[in-house]
Chains A and B, each alone.
Chain A
């Protein structure tokens, strides 16, 4: 394996020379997809980069980016790296206080914000941010009348940079030439299900090594691929897909108009590769289930009738064996009748590979997409490895996250914890040597996840080490497995399994407001708010049946004996969910202490 000796900004210059006028990105503007070429991409990065220098930025400075996905986000990211600085992504959904924490902790000198909403968050905290020199705003709408010396528009900075480039056309190339592979390229603040977020420093070598040697053998990208960018860019997964990987492979990235238009935009673009977190796939799955329920009996019957064929063929494909001719023919008919239509509806007609990552997913959801004929893989990755740890290269096994990637050495500790070593292991946590030492005590990175390897070398993730439930009977149980079974139900949005040091398993359940609401309307059950729905006894009975169904596939000790429907929806603003919509178990267990005790008191 050759050692990586390049940097992301260097790759940008190389790709711009190679591809020139070819399309690098598309962004929907005024309802029409506008194209951005590799040349424009390069020029935009150059202009903003030199603009930052004109504002006083120097090598090694941290600059934060706060806002929804857009081409400017990427331009900014690379412009910062081009100067030799460190880019810090902040979730646009973070509260003003969380934004203040990250700006302060990362010692950011500049922050680039998307719009007024984000600018207001920074302005609210400006008193305590003495290092902050400028707030650069991409969309000035609503800010024209702010009399605030900190604020400067993105365009102004760009214009200053363009002027500097005109005077010294080689300046940017010289800056880029000075970047080194071992430099930190960006910091990713992990949303963290516990405590304050930690800033993982990722170097150029980390990320490029991970893409070339880790991801590529699994995903096999070419420059003809098309992607939709919609997950938050400050997350390592989308950062890879929208920023770093196109620089290596040269494929086209399309920016979704907003998170609400994702489904529509998928249909318009027809991406060849689609990466999603479980929640999005669960939503797509349940939207099809519901539409099926509302459609004619004939369509419904067709869907049911062709499913076994899809399932059988997907089993052949997953094992890597050739599909027998008879099955192929039968499947072609099924494709014509039903699968093609569904794939078209959910925008997966051109999709050659669907990837799930970010959190564990229920196998039933994966097989739904496999039946439709989409190669669906589950991958395992963490921020601290710059992305990937494992993924299936050929054979796909149900429930497995594939083989450990070649970019990393892997071993399992005695308690089953996954340990990793290699060039894509991150540099460390920014300004937190103690936390760095905790995860990198001996040269091996301790993931905190418990895993198993089977005879073929496929990796299975059991659970987070700290989440494993040990019942009072001494049995080790993985809560996420049970939770995913529960979440398979279209009526269950979120489930939190309780049972550590208790004698049986219980669950807190958040119902899916839309789907249960629909069900209630059909059954003429009146309700006004989420709460009135959650408290309705008929809804309790509905969920009870769903819990029974989930219990069927579980061992006796793992079955959920009692459950409680939460009277409020979990919310990121109440700190119950992370920015990536993962539940914060500890906080929820504390907050719903009363409800939990009530379930155990009854016996």
Chain B
């Protein structure tokens, strides 16, 4: 777990966020703040609005009211590619990779928003283009080593096991060189060994690369071990927030998860 910096300011600030689809209020008036360098988890039963919050942050949905400020800059209204450029990347629950392309190519293409050379430069492959491509490959190789993907560097993503594809998905988000990473259910459908590996990678990403992580996960063991702070949603409303120990003792949370105590 990251060592908390005392005067850490809020890197991401969500205030009074609401989002509805037709008559369904997916999230209503949710506010929370994430400090730089922490692992922050959002938990809650199915349909609590967790993924909707991610979609709002990454610009896929446009929230109706409220604000999302990243490093004191309003995100609502920005396009997803612009948000990625600001330093927010996302690892999707349903793997978002090009199945027919190799791991290496997938990771290289994740960095497209960092490249500045134009069409002509690419055609002659000299100067700036060459420099950028070499640097990109260098950083992608860093990510490959970081997540132990060397054995599958040149394998098409579609041929890999599910657990490994999830890791490539994480690598893709990491290759985007983010300051903040949104990680959506990284260990769903994995076996115990794969879970432990994934937990280790998330901690490493957070500690070694100083990347703030916001995590959505159903595996309570993982959430409690990894997170610095946790927020609990139920039916689109925040019902608790705090350090893992506090939250798991909160009666409202127990009720939301286990139903009314009889």
Q: Establish whether residues A31 and B208, one from each chain, have CB atoms under 8 Å apart when the complex forms.
A: no
Stretch at the interface among B6-14, B62-70, B136-144, B222-230: B136-144
- Chain A to chain B: the 9 pairs with minimum beta-carbon distance, closest first: A30-B141, A260-B151, A257-B150, A261-B151, A31-B141, A142-B204, A145-B3, A261-B150, A141-B208
Specify which chain A residues have a CB less than 8 angstroms from the CB of B200 in the assembled complex: 142
Query: Counting CB contacts under 8 A, is B74 at the interface?
Result: no
- What are 11 of the A-B contact pairs (CB < 8 Å)? A30-B142, A31-B144, A31-B150, A142-B200, A142-B207, A145-B2, A145-B3, A257-B150, A258-B150, A260-B151, A264-B151
Question: In the complex, which residues 197-247 of chain B have their Cβ closer than 8 Å to any Cβ of chain A?
Answer: 200, 203-204, 207-208
Q: How far is the CA of A264 from the CA of B150 in the complex (A)?
A: 10
Q: Establish whether residues B208 and A142, one from each chain, have CB atoms under 8 Å apart when the complex forms.
A: yes
Query: Counting CB contacts under 8 A, is B148 at the interface?
Result: yes
Query: Counting CB contacts under 8 A, is B153 at the interface?
Result: yes
Q: Establish whether residues B208 and A144, one from each chain, have CB atoms under 8 Å apart when the complex forms.
A: yes
Query: Counting CB contacts under 8 A, is B145 at the interface?
Result: yes
Question: In the complex, which residues 87-146 of chain B have their Cβ closer than 8 Å to any Cβ of chain A?
Answer: 137-138, 141-142, 144-146
CB distance from A361 to the nearest CB of B (A): 26
Q: Name A116's closest neighbour in chain B (CB-CB).
A: B200
Q: How far is the CA of A141 from the CA of B208 in the complex (A)?
A: 7
Q: How far is the CA of A28 from the CA of B153 in the complex (A)?
A: 13
Q: Establish whether residues A141 and B204, one from each chain, have CB atoms under 8 Å apart when the complex forms.
A: yes
Q: Establish whether residues A31 and B207, one from each chain, have CB atoms under 8 Å apart when the complex forms.
A: no
Specify which chain B residues have a CB less than 8 angstroms from the CB of A258 in the assembled complex: 148, 150-151
Could you count the A-B residue pairs with CB atoms below 8 Å apart for me: how many are there?
34
Q: Establish whether residues B203 and A142, one from each chain, have CB atoms under 8 Å apart when the complex forms.
A: yes
Question: Contacts A142-B208, A144-B207, A261-B150 given; 6 further ones with Cβ under 8 A?
Answer: A28-B150, A30-B138, A31-B150, A144-B208, A145-B2, A260-B150
Q: Name B208's closest neighbour in chain A (CB-CB).
A: A141
Q: How far is the CA of A260 from the CA of B148 in the complex (A)?
A: 11
Question: In the complex, which residues 134-168 of chain B have their Cβ closer than 8 Å to any Cβ of chain A?
Answer: 137-138, 141-142, 144-146, 148, 150-151, 153
CB distance from B144 to the nearest CB of A (A): 7
CB distance from A129 to the nearest CB of B (A): 24
Q: How far is the CA of A261 from the CA of B103 in the complex (A)?
A: 15
- Interface bits A115-145 vs B (CB < 8 Å: 1, else 0): 0000000000000000000000000011011
Question: In the complex, which residues 253-286 of chain A have their Cβ closer than 8 Å to any Cβ of chain B?
Answer: 257-258, 260-261, 264
Q: How far is the CA of A272 from the CA of B145 in the complex (A)?
A: 28
CB distance from A124 to the nearest CB of B (A): 15
Interface size on B (CB < 8 Å)? 18
Specify which chain B residues have a CB less than 8 angstroms from the CB of A144 in the assembled complex: 207-208
Q: How far is the CA of A245 from the CA of B139 in the complex (A)?
A: 36
Q: Name B2's closest neighbour in chain A (CB-CB).
A: A145
Q: How far is the CA of A142 from the CA of B199 in the complex (A)?
A: 12
CB distance from B140 to the nearest CB of A (A): 9
Q: How far is the CA of A144 from the CA of B208 in the complex (A)?
A: 8
Q: Establish whether residues A31 and B153, one from each chain, have CB atoms under 8 Å apart when the complex forms.
A: yes
- Interface bits A353-368 vs B (CB < 8 Å: 1, else 0): 0000000000000000
Q: How far is the CA of A141 from the CA of B146 in the complex (A)?
A: 9
Specify which chain A residues have a CB less than 8 angstroms from the CB of B3 in the assembled complex: 145
Specify which chain A residues have a CB less than 8 angstroms from the CB of B204 in the assembled complex: 141-142
CB distance from A478 to the nearest CB of B (A): 37
Specify which chain B residues have a CB less than 8 angstroms from the CB of A28 in the assembled complex: 150
- Interface bits A293-309 vs B (CB < 8 Å: 1, else 0): 00000000000000000
Q: Name B200's closest neighbour in chain A (CB-CB).
A: A142
Specify which chain B residues have a CB less than 8 angstroms from the CB of A142 in the assembled complex: 200, 203-204, 207-208
Q: How far is the CA of A145 from the CA of B137 in the complex (A)?
A: 29
CB distance from A121 to the nearest CB of B (A): 14
Specify which chain A residues have a CB less than 8 angstroms from the CB of B141 in the assembled complex: 30-31
Q: Establish whether residues B207 and A145, one from each chain, have CB atoms under 8 Å apart when the complex forms.
A: yes
CB distance from B3 to the nearest CB of A (A): 6
Question: In the complex, which residues 143-175 of chain A have their Cβ closer than 8 Å to any Cβ of chain B?
Answer: 144-145
Q: How far is the CA of A478 from the CA of B146 in the complex (A)?
A: 48
Q: Name B203's closest neighbour in chain A (CB-CB).
A: A142
Specify which chain A residues have a CB less than 8 angstroms from the CB of B146 in the assembled complex: 141
Specify which chain A residues have a CB less than 8 angstroms from the CB of B138 in the assembled complex: 30
Q: Name A262's closest neighbour in chain B (CB-CB).
A: B151
Specify which chain B residues have a CB less than 8 angstroms from the CB of A257 in the assembled complex: 150-151
CB distance from B194 to the nearest CB of A (A): 15
- Interface bits A26-47 vs B (CB < 8 Å: 1, else 0): 0010110000000000000000
Specify which chain A residues have a CB less than 8 angstroms from the CB of B208 in the assembled complex: 141-142, 144
CB distance from B186 to the nearest CB of A (A): 17
Q: How far is the CA of A30 from the CA of B135 in the complex (A)?
A: 12
Specify which chain A residues have a CB less than 8 angstroms from the CB of B150 in the assembled complex: 28, 31, 257-258, 260-261
Q: Name A264's closest neighbour in chain B (CB-CB).
A: B151
Q: How far is the CA of A257 from the CA of B145 in the complex (A)?
A: 10
Q: How far is the CA of A293 from the CA of B84 in the complex (A)?
A: 47
Q: How far is the CA of A306 from the CA of B74 in the complex (A)?
A: 71
Q: Name B145's closest neighbour in chain A (CB-CB).
A: A30
Q: How far is the CA of A145 from the CA of B204 in the complex (A)?
A: 11
Q: How far is the CA of A142 from the CA of B1 in the complex (A)?
A: 10
Q: Name B138's closest neighbour in chain A (CB-CB).
A: A30
CB distance from A519 to the nearest CB of B (A): 19
Q: Quick one: which of B142, B150, B200 has the most chain A CB within 10 A?
A: B150
- Interface bits A9-36 vs B (CB < 8 Å: 1, else 0): 0000000000000000000101100000
CB distance from A138 to the nearest CB of B (A): 14
Q: How far is the CA of A219 from the CA of B163 in the complex (A)?
A: 43
Q: How far is the CA of A361 from the CA of B153 in the complex (A)?
A: 33
Q: Name B104's closest neighbour in chain A (CB-CB).
A: A31
Specify which chain A residues have a CB less than 8 angstroms from the CB of B151 in the assembled complex: 257-258, 260-261, 264
CB distance from B82 to the nearest CB of A (A): 31
Q: How far is the CA of A264 from the CA of B154 in the complex (A)?
A: 10
CB distance from A118 to the nearest CB of B (A): 13
CB distance from A323 to the nearest CB of B (A): 39
CB distance from B240 to the nearest CB of A (A): 27
Q: How far is the CA of A261 from the CA of B203 in the complex (A)?
A: 25
Q: How far is the CA of A390 from the CA of B252 in the complex (A)?
A: 73
Specify which chain B residues have a CB less than 8 angstroms from the CB of A141 in the assembled complex: 146, 204, 208
Q: How far is the CA of A260 from the CA of B151 in the complex (A)?
A: 6
Q: How far is the CA of A174 from the CA of B232 in the complex (A)?
A: 66
Question: In the complex, which residues 558-587 of chain A have their Cβ closer than 8 Å to any Cβ of chain B?
Answer: none
Q: How far is the CA of A258 from the CA of B141 in the complex (A)?
A: 15
Q: How far is the CA of A405 from the CA of B145 in the complex (A)?
A: 43
Specify which chain A residues have a CB less than 8 angstroms from the CB of B137 in the assembled complex: 31
Q: Name B3's closest neighbour in chain A (CB-CB).
A: A145
Specify which chain A residues have a CB less than 8 angstroms from the CB of B145 in the assembled complex: 30
Q: How far is the CA of A172 from the CA of B200 in the complex (A)?
A: 40
Q: How far is the CA of A165 from the CA of B195 in the complex (A)?
A: 46
CB distance from A447 to the nearest CB of B (A): 38
- Interface bits B164-177 vs A (CB < 8 Å: 1, else 0): 00000000000000
Q: Quick one: which of B2, B142, B204 has the most chain A CB within 10 A?
A: B204
Q: Name B148's closest neighbour in chain A (CB-CB).
A: A258
Q: How far is the CA of A30 from the CA of B148 in the complex (A)?
A: 11
- Interface bits A329-343 vs B (CB < 8 Å: 1, else 0): 000000000000000
Q: How far is the CA of A271 from the CA of B138 in the complex (A)?
A: 27
Q: How far is the CA of A376 from the CA of B141 in the complex (A)?
A: 37
Q: How far is the CA of A595 from the CA of B151 in the complex (A)?
A: 38
Q: Quick one: which of A28, A31, A144 has the most chain B CB within 10 A?
A: A31
CB distance from A137 to the nearest CB of B (A): 14
Q: Name B151's closest neighbour in chain A (CB-CB).
A: A260
Specify which chain A residues have a CB less than 8 angstroms from the CB of B207 in the assembled complex: 142, 144-145
Q: How far is the CA of A30 from the CA of B151 in the complex (A)?
A: 12
Q: How far is the CA of A261 from the CA of B154 in the complex (A)?
A: 11
